[in-house]
Structure 1
Amino acid sequence: MPIRPQDLINTPDIEAWPAHVLTARGNHAARQLALSRHVLRRKRDGRYLAAVDGARVVPLAPRLQVEPGLQAALAALRGTSRCPAATLPLHRLEQRLARLGLDGGYASRTGLPLVPEPTRLRLAGRDRYRRPLWLEAGAARAWLSMREAALREGIVLEAISGYRSHDYQLGIFERKLARGQPLEHILTVNAAPGYSEHHSGRALDIGTPGEPPAEESFEATPAFAWLRANAAGWGFVMSYPRDNPHGIVYEPWHWCHAGAGAPRLSPASA
């Protein structure tokens, strides 16, 4: 049996997903997914554009040939075996931030750097909602190993979310703004598009069964206590402790893979 692809290939406008992790949308798409290795997926709205298997490209959306970024996505997909993982350019972010009313002072006010998206992400199982979980390859290996180690000690760790594209983060802001939330309030809860650690593929929101996602109450669980004691051994650190200098609310659920041997958080700093 051919080895199924495990990587998501990322370009500015389109992602190439392994076909086997996707759910078919209609009979035609189901047949094509079964016959293909990858599906091209538009980043801004998640629409399936084409099924791809080698040189075979089957449209799943109208006007495929004029789809922005199509040729770049096909070239990236066909060159993955020869090209090392890298990051996407950041030059289009300024327009997105301007639409939100964010000026160039945001980075200096928060101390948060711009975070590029990786060109390749590794499948790291599924999250709580059975969605494919994408992480940078090193973070994916560390997460799977750490989760298994916790389970051996009776602790169940669940991924709530991993990688998010700039487009995804922009959508969060647009939906909250449409509901009337002030930009200043949103920025205390969500990093601006381009500034979230989730863009890197190294950040995870972590939960445990029976606990609501992304709530401060997570800090009272055995899962959080286990992470505090052990996560650094797998290179994970909590990014936003209380009174962090970035102005982000306390997030005991948000952990980022900084590499093996990352410093442990002391009780005082968390």
Structure 2
Amino acid sequence: MSCHPRSRILLNTPQIELWPADLLRARGSRDARLLARATWVLRRKRDGRYLAAAVPEGLVTLLPGWRRDTRADEALDLLDADAPYASAQPAPLLRIDDLQTRLDALGLDGDAYAARTGLPMVAEPAWLAFAGRDRYRRPLWLTQAAARAWAHMREAARRDGVVLEAVSGYRSHDYQLGIFERKRARGLDLDAILAVNAAPGFSEHHAGTALDISAPDEPAAETSFEATPAFAWLERHAGLHGFGMSYPRDNPHGIVYEPWHWNHRPA
């Protein structure tokens, strides 16, 4: 296994993520012993389960049968690769050919949704850069360009006496599907969910370029954020760092006003 996390990156396949082991929390004593020795951990995207850990002597299974239940070959190939990840070039994009099948299970016609909202289908990057931690101490993943811009913007705000907190960054298709499934299980109908969440496959978070931003002591993802000094600072300065607010009031996509959602669009 020649692929090592020389820099803090997340390697991505349609069903499995490869995490640097030292960024993951142990879920028991066995996990703790393995993570202490591992380079990578294979993590299933749909539920976050740890599948296997790459240690010096080989691959140790953490979830029996995981190779049968997921497309394991792509993740295993990454472990054996010696590709120049985290290069100056943007990451290639993963295919999205099986997304419509999953949208069908939600009763959502992707083509009709795209036509109605004007939102494009968004592919996931094949790798993402570690951009620090969010307010909940979770690793924050973004494209390399967005991670660099976020670091510069947060530091510029700090110099002006403003603290910016990341609430979330990259989210996979599987994660977004889980949001919909959980809300459907609570009895919400599809239209109600779509008013506040982009359909799976159509969120800017999938691209690793979007950030939900808040400020200390401010609740996450609430319109009250617009009354904070942090929001005022973003309105004046975010564009200088390549960030723009995606969903202002009365936006053409039919998404509710989200003063917390900012997307990086490199020049």
Give TM-score scaled by structure 2 length.
0.93
- What's the CA shift string for 1:92-149, capped at 9, x where partnerless? 1111111111122110000000000111011100001111000011000100111111
CA shift in 2, pair 1:80/1:161, >3 Å: farther
CA shift in 2, pair 1:77/1:141, >3 Å: farther
Q: RMSD over aligned Cα, in angstroms?
A: 1.6
| CA distance in structure 1 between the partners assigned to 2:224 and 2:182 by the alignment | 25
1:92 and 2:94 correspond: no
Gaps of 5+ in 2: none
Per-residue deviation, 1:5: 3.7
What residue number does 1:254 align with? 261
CA shift in 2, pair 1:64/1:184, >3 Å: closer
What residue number does 2:222 align with? 215
Check whether the contact 2:34–2:55 (CA below 8 A) recurs between aligned residues.
no
Structure 1 outlier segments of 4+, above 4 Å: none
What residue number does 2:187 align with? 180
Provide the identity percentage: 62
Trace 1:184-263 onto structure 2 (pairs within 5 A).
184-260=191-267
CA shift in 2, pair 1:142/1:54, >3 Å: farther
Check whether the contact 1:240–1:249 (CA below 8 A) recurs between aligned residues.
yes
Check whether the contact 2:246–2:263 (CA below 8 A) recurs between aligned residues.
yes
- What's the CA shift string for 1:195-252, capped at 9, x where partnerless? 0000000000000001110001100100000000000111000000111000000000
Gaps of 5+ in 1: 261-270
2:76 alignment partner AA: L
Trace 1:97-176 onto structure 2 (pairs within 5 A).
97-103=103-109, 104-176=111-183
Secondary structure, counterpart of 1:189 in structure 2: coil
Give TM-score scaled by structure 1 length.
0.92
Secondary structure, counterpart of 1:237 in structure 2: strand
| CA distance in structure 2 between the partners assigned to 1:74 and 1:114 by the alignment | 27
| CA distance in structure 1 between the partners assigned to 2:79 and 2:266 by the alignment | 28
What residue number does 2:37 align with? 35
